[in-house]
Amino acid sequence: ETGVTQSPTHLIKTRGQQVTLRCSSQSGHNTVSWYQQALGQGPQFIFQYYREEENGRGNFPPRFSGLQFPNYSSELNVNALELDDSALYLCASSLQSGRRETQYFGPGTRLLVL
């Protein structure tokens, strides 16, 4: 177990709706990254938060947004859901923000958009 938890485990939404996914980082980790993993693919980096500020972003539109809280829990928000947003959403925590910091993943939230 990595000590990283996510909720909910599964979620079904319809196109156009909004969704909030939650992550609780490993104790003491001040950095959280979010990834989207489509079926049969490797995870794709969405963004990273360090000390409550966005600290890097991948090729995802602004309707993907996030928050990190002082207790290092975090949220991923997706507005105006599209069918292609159906995927496993993973959060990963690391001790620090950096190029060589090991990221520990949670079990993910599987989102289905109908």
Q: How far is the CB of 32 from other proteins (least distance, A)?
A: 10
SS3 content of the chain, % helix, strand, coil (to 5): 5, 50, 45
Smallest gap from Cβ 101 to other proteins, in A, equals: 7
Applying CB under 8 A, which residues contact other proteins? Answer: 2, 4, 31, 33, 35, 40-45, 48, 50, 55-58, 90, 92, 94, 97-108
Question: For residues 28 and 40, which CB has a smaller minimum distance to other proteins in the complex?
Answer: 40
Between 66 and 106, CB nearer to other proteins: 106
Amino acid (one-letter) located at 61:
P
Whether 63 contacts 76, CB under 8 Å: no
> Which amino acid is present at 44?
Q
Tell me the β-bridge partners of 12.
112
Nearer to other proteins, 19 or 93 (CB): 93
